[in-house]
Amino acid sequence: MEVFLTIFFFTALWAGVARFGPILMSKAPQQDLVRCCFLLAAVCCWLFWLCCYLAQLNPLIGPKLNQNTVKIIAEAWDNPIKAG
């Protein structure tokens, strides 16, 4: 569920940028160029985000932490080490 919502949110976000971004520059003379640029930028950025998201969606390996890092994470990221 969280996955779908996140994907939907970012897709909607970048679609919004592509659709409504050119309004920011409505006074520029070459409107077609402005629309093209916003569309391209939105597509590129969205695709880049999507690839990163999908690559981490089903990870096949986990991160390998060294001992020190484990202890720091336990304190800093509120992920305490269980007793025993």
Partner 1 sequence: MGSLFRSEEMALCQLFLQSEAAYACVSELGELGLVQFRDLNPDVNAFQRKFVNEVRRCDEMERKLRYLEKEIKKDGIPMLDTGESPEAPQPREMIDLEATFEKLENELREVNQNAEALKRNFLELTELKHILRKTQVFFDESVPTVYKSSGTHSSNKYRRYLQMADNQNEDEQAQLLGEEAVRASQPGQNLKLGFVAGVILRERLPAFERMLWRACRGNVFLRQAMIETPLEDPTNGDQVHKSVFIIFFQGDQLKTRVKKICEGFRATLYPCPEAPADRREMAMGVMTRIEDLNTVLGQTQDHRHRVLVAAAKNLKNWFVKVRKIKAIYHTLNLFNLDVTQKCLIAECWVPLLDIETIQLALRRGTERSGSSVPPILNRMQTFENPPTYNRTNKFTKAFQALIDAYGVASYREMNPAPYTIITFPFLFAVMFGDLGHGAIMALFGLWMIRKEKGLAAQKTDNEIWNIFFGGRYIIFLMGAFSMYTGLIYNDIFSKSLNIFGSHWHMSYNKSTVADNKYLQLNPNGDYEGAPYPFGMDPIWQVAGANKIIFHNAYKMKISIIFGVIHMIFGVVMSWHNHTYFRNRISMLYEFIPQLIFLLLLFFYMVLLMFIKWIKFAATNAKPYSEACAPSILITFIDMVLFNTPKEPVKDCQTYMFFGQHFIQVLFVLVAVGCIPVMLLAKPLLIMQARKQANIQPIAGATSDAETGAITNGGVGGGQHEEEEELSEIFIHQSIHTIEYVLGSVSHTASYLRLWALSLAHAQLAEVLWTMVLSIGLKQEGWFGGIILTCVFAFWAILTVGILVLMEGLSAFLHTLRLHWVEFQSKFYKGQGYAFQPFSFDAIIENGAAAAEAE
At how many degrees (to 10) do helices 31-57 and 2-20 cross? 170
Residue 46 Cβ, how far from partner 1 at the closest point, in Å? Answer: 11
The binder of partner 1 chosen from 11, 15, 57, 75 (CB under 8 A): 57
CA distance readout (Å), 52 to 40, 45, 55, 77? 18, 11, 5, 23
Please report, in angstroms and rounded to a whole number, the separation of the first and last CA atoms in the chain: 35
| For partner 1, the closer CB: 26 or 66 | 66
What is the contact surface with partner 1 in residues (CB under 8 A)?
2-3, 6, 10, 29-30, 32-33, 36-37, 40-41, 44-45, 47-49, 51-67, 69-74, 77, 79, 81-84
